[in-house]
């Protein structure tokens, strides 16, 4: 999505803005722009289509960039309104070129606002952000603070906005509703960012703005206002380490993140599971067990949604609790029937996904119990949820979510075990699963060392432009997540179906050009899925099996196989997903895709 970065202080803002944008780039990479202002009001204004490196080249080519622009705002864009071009790139300006604006979010009533403003002003872009800039000029009376306060009553939507004024060159005003905005304190000045990670290298402490709050930065100081009144807020020490490091021997950062999975799972379980006495000792989970939970509702988007679906099988099978999983954008469109005996679980890597965030607000407004499984510490969803567990997957930078999905799935297995033990005292069965969890890292290593075989198989499957990805029961959403990763990274069109649904329609599409990837490790439904595979093979069509080493049909049933270590059915979603991620990654690499930044996508979807 779009992200903003701003600075006021002792240093020249221009190189700081470029560096800040580089740290935010994975969140939107259609175009980038910045404006720096000197204390006499002179500006340095640059925009470029494409990556931040294109903007950096333009900035470096202009020697004026070396002057002392003590204030500046910058932006990376993920296009929402208007095509990807320079005109639509932020910062946007008022007609009198006095005010410059960067914006993350969507102004939903921009068309009505624009229609009125068009009577007076000519618009150069198709964006909703230019409307904000023109509206500031139109409604400005004596200061930016009161102007923006009034505008917050007029603008409908979600936004974090930073504005500079050439006539008050050492000032930045920021406002926020929905989209994130963080203020960073540093020895050299004040920074504003959509993302705390981008502040971690420059600021020693930070403050997170809440909805309808405003920050006014002036001469290296800042004040925060709410409803026109100055307020004081908690300042957090910067304890976040954000450094993607180098790629080392990996071919992409995404591959590097996949290889971090065994350690991430260590973070998830250590300190929460006691592998010695095979018990779960976590305060949050113990507190959760004090609630009378009769039902679980899981709400998430994208990969987090698939993780939620996988977890739902364990909540039902182990803990015996009915579960429903809903895509957050659909939850927002549906009638909400609050249930005070339900636990509402929100899954989000970023903790900022707009649909998940807004769903959480709806549930909270009805006083229902909310639980967040979030990776980014201090993010909006983490702050809003009544309870929660961090997924501790470290910073997940690259667009495709991998290690965090595994962490989410691990947390839901742990929650299910804890709820199961609290309700049913099935100690020996639960202990067997906990014992196996202790060995999961080794099983994952087995997958990670078989990458050369997965690579060979992936090469072969690059010849197809479509693929079905199928599974049954818990392996249905496991296949769904693999399917999502294949299409997202390789741009091959993949469809996910339940194995049993194949003959209810989709089978009509299968021919030698459309292979079926079946996720069918050993488990209680193995034989039924084998029957579905037989139906495809009876027509001599192509089947790639993600199967256990043990599989007695491995030599006669499949066109190709990717073998997973022998585990119980409970562990197999982990190993299948990791093998699926590696398969998707190599498909993409063989097709020469930018796996770290797939086209049209962005990390952290902060607009609905
Ligand atoms: C896919 C992917 C997305 C995210 C989705 C939700 O690889 O990364 O589908 O899973 O946008 O994001 P979070 O988990 O941040 O809410």
How far apart are the C-alpha atoms of 177 and 156, rounded to whole Å?
Answer: 9
Q: Is the CB of 401 under 6 A from ligand 1?
A: yes
Q: Which atom, in ligand 1's list, is nearest to the CA of 300?
A: 16
Q: What is the mean pLDDT of residues 162-189?
A: 96
Burial class (CB in 10 A: 0-12, 13-18, 19+), 370: buried
Supply the pLDDT for residue 529: 98
pLDDT the model gives residue 427: 83
Distance of CA 352 to the CA centre of its chain: 7
Read off the pLDDT of each residue in 363-384 and give the average, rounded to a whole number.
96
- The DSSP line for 433-474 is HHHHHHHHHHHHHHHHTTHHHHHHHHHHHTT-SEEEEEE-TT
Could you tell me if the CB of 353 is within 6 A of ligand 1? Answer: yes
**What is the CATH architecture of 3-237?**
4-Layer Sandwich (3.60)
Q: Which atom of ligand 1 is nearest to the CA of 303?
A: 10
Residue range 318-369, pLDDT digits in tens: 999 999 999 999 999 999 999 999 999 999 999 999 999 999 999 999 999 9
State which fold the 442-596 domain adopts.
Answer: Rossmann fold (3.40.50)
- CATH 3.60.20.10-classified regions of the chain: 3-237
Task: Give, for ligand 1, the residue of 477, 605, 607 to mutate: max count of ligand atoms closer than 8 Å to Cβ.
Answer: 605
Going by C-beta distance under 8 Å and a sequence separation of 6 or more, which residues neighbour residue 476? 309, 470, 496, 498, 499
Q: For atom 3 of ligand 1, which residue has the closest CA?
A: 302
Q: At 161, is the secondary structure helix, strand, or coil?
A: strand
Is the dihedral angle over the CA atoms 131, 137, 141, 146 positive or is it negative?
positive
The rounded Å distance from CA 303 to ligand 1 centre is 5
Residues 470-477: what's their mean pLDDT? Answer: 98
Give, in words, the CATH class of 244-438: alpha beta
CB 366 within 8 A of CB 318: no
Pocket-testing residue among 379, 380, 385, 401, ligand 1, by greatest number of atoms within 8 A of Cβ: 401
- Report residue 243's pLDDT band, with 50, 70 and 90 as the boundaries: low
In terms of Cβ atoms closer than 10 Å to its own Cβ (0-12, 13-18, 19+), residue 260 is middle
pLDDT bin (cut points 50, 70, 90) of residue 295 is very high
196 CB within 6 A, ligand 1: no
Four-residue CA torsion sign, 138, 140, 144, 145: negative
CB atoms near residue 474 (< 10 Å): 25
Is the pLDDT reported for residue 244 higher than 70?
A: no
Task: Count CB neighbours of 355 within 10 A.
Answer: 23
Is the distance from CB of 161 to CB of 132 less than 8 angstroms? yes
Q: Is residue 309 reached through a cis peptide bond, with omega within 30 degrees of 0 on the bond before it?
A: no
Assess whether the C-beta atom of 303 lies below 6 angstroms from ligand 1.
yes
The answer on pLDDT for 245 being more than 80 is: no
- Tell me the pLDDT tens digit for each residue of 495-519: 999 999 999 999 999 899 999 999 9
d(CA 454, ligand 1 centre) in Å:
24
The response to whether residue 380 sits with its C-beta less than 6 Å from ligand 1 reads no
pLDDT digits (tens, 9 = 90+) for 569-587: 999 999 999 999 999 999 9
Helix, strand, or coil (residue 53)? helix
β partners of residue 495: 468
Residue 359 CA to ligand 1 center (angstroms) comes to 16
pLDDT of residue 63: 92
Structure confidence at residue 310 (pLDDT): 98
Share of the chain above pLDDT 70, in %: 99
Q: Report the chain's mean pLDDT, rounded to a whole number.
A: 95
The SS3 assignment for 334 reads coil
54 C-alpha vs ligand 1 centroid, how far in Å? 27
pLDDT for 425 equals: 75
Q: How confident is the model at residue 1 (pLDDT cuts 50, 70, 90)?
A: low
- pLDDT(240) > 80: no
Instruction: Give the N- to C-terminal CA distance of the chain in Å, as an integer.
Output: 11
Q: What angle do CA 564, 566, 569 make, to 5 degrees?
A: 95
Tell me how far the alpha carbon of residue 602 lies from the centroid of ligand 1, in angstroms.
9
Query: Which sequence positions are flagged as catalytic?
Result: 2, 603
Share of the chain residues as helix, strand and coil, in percent rounded to the nearest 5: 40, 25, 35
Compute the average pLDDT of residues 387-412: 95
596 in ligand 1 pocket by Cβ < 6 Å?
Answer: no
CATH 3.40.50.10490 residue ranges of the chain are 244-438, 442-596
Q: Which atom of ligand 1 is nearest to the CA of 356?
A: 16
Q: Is the dihedral angle over the CA atoms 589, 593, 594, 597 positive or is it negative?
A: negative
* pTM of structure: 0.92
Query: In testing the pocket of ligand 1, which one of 78, 254, 303 has its CB within 8 Å of the most ligand atoms?
Result: 303
Distance 477 CA to ligand 1 centre (A): 15
402 lines ligand 1 (CB under 6 A): no
**pLDDT at residue 531 tops 90:** yes
- How far is 517 from 533, CA to CA, in rounded Å? 10
> pLDDT tens digit string along 413-425?
999 999 999 998 7
Checking if the pLDDT of 14 tops 80, the result is: yes
Pocket lining: 359 vs ligand 1, CB cutoff 6 Å: no
Average pLDDT for residues 131-146, to the nearest whole number? 96
């Amino acid at each position: 999505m779009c992200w903003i970065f701003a600075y006021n202080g002792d240093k020249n803002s221009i190189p700081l803005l470029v560096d800040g944008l580089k740290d935010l780039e994975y969140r939107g990479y259609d175009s980038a722009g910045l404006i720096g202002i000197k204390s006499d009001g002179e500006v340095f204004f640059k925009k470029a289509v494409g990556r931040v490196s294109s903007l950096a080249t333009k900035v470096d080519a202009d020697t004026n960039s070396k002057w002392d622009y003590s204030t500046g705002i910058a932006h990376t864009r993920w296009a929402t309104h208007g095509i990807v071009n320079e005109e639509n790139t932020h910062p946007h300006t008022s007609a009198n070129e006095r005010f410059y604006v960067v914006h993350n979010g969507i102004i939903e009533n921009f068309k009505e606002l624009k229609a009125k403003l068009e009577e007076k002003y000519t618009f150069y872009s198709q964006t909703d952000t230019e409307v904000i800039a023109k509206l500031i000029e139109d409604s400005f009376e004596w200061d930016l603070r009161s102007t923006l306060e009034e505008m917050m009553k007029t603008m409908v939507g979600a936004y974090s906005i930073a504005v500079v004024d050439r006539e008050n060159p050492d000032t930045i005003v920021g406002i926020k509703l929905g989209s994130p905005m963080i203020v960073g304190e540093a020895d050299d000045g004040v920074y504003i960012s959509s993302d705390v990670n981008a502040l971690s290298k420059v600021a020693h402490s930070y403050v997170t703005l809440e909805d309808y709050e405003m920050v006014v930065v002036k001469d290296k100081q800042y004040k925060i206002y709410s409803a026109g009144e100055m307020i004081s807020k908690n300042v957090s020490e910067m304890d976040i380490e954000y450094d993607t490091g180098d790629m080392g021997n990996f071919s992409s950062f995404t591959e590097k993140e996949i290889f971090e999975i065994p350690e991430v799972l260590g973070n998830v379980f250590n300190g929460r599971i006691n592998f010695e006495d095979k018990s779960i000792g976590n305060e949050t989970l113990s507190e959760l067990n004090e609630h009378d939970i009769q039902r679980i509702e899981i709400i998430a988007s994208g990969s987090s949604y698939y993780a939620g679906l996988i977890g739902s099988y364990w909540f039902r099978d182990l803990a015996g609790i009915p579960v429903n999983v809903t895509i957050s954008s659909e939850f927002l469109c549906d009638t909400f029937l609050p249930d005070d005996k339900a636990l509402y679980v929100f899954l989000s890597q970023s903790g900022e996904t707009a649909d998940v965030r807004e769903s959480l607000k709806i549930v909270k407004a009805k006083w229902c119990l909310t639980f967040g499984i979030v990776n980014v510490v201090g993010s909006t969803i983490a702050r809003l949820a009544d309870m929660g567990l961090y997924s501790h997957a470290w910073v997940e930078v690259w667009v495709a979510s991998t290690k965090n999905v595994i962490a989410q799935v691990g947390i839901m297995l742990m929650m299910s075990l804890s709820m199961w033990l609290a309700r049913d005292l099935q100690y020996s069965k639960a202990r067997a699963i906990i014992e196996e969890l202790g060995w999961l890292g080794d099983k994952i290593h087995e997958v990670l060392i078989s990458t050369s075989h997965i690579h060979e198989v992936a090469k072969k499957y690059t010849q197809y432009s479509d693929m079905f990805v199928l599974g049954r029961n818990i392996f249905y959403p496991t296949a769904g997540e693999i399917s999502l990763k294949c299409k997202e990274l390789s741009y091959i069109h993949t469809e996910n179906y339940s194995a049993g649904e194949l003959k209810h329609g989709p089978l009509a599409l299968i021919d030698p050009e459309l292979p079926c990837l079946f996720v069918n490790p050993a488990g209680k439904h193995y034989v039924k899925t084998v029957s579905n595979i037989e139906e495809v093979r009876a027509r001599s069509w192509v089947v790639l099996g993600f199967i256990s080493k043990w599989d007695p049909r491995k030599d006669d049933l499949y066109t190709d196989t990717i073998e997973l270590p022998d585990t119980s059915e409970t562990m197999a979603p982990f190993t299948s997903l990791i093998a699926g991620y590696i398969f998707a990654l190599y498909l993409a690499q063989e097709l020469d895709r930018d796996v770290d930044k797939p086209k049209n996508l962005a990390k952290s979807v902060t607009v609905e």
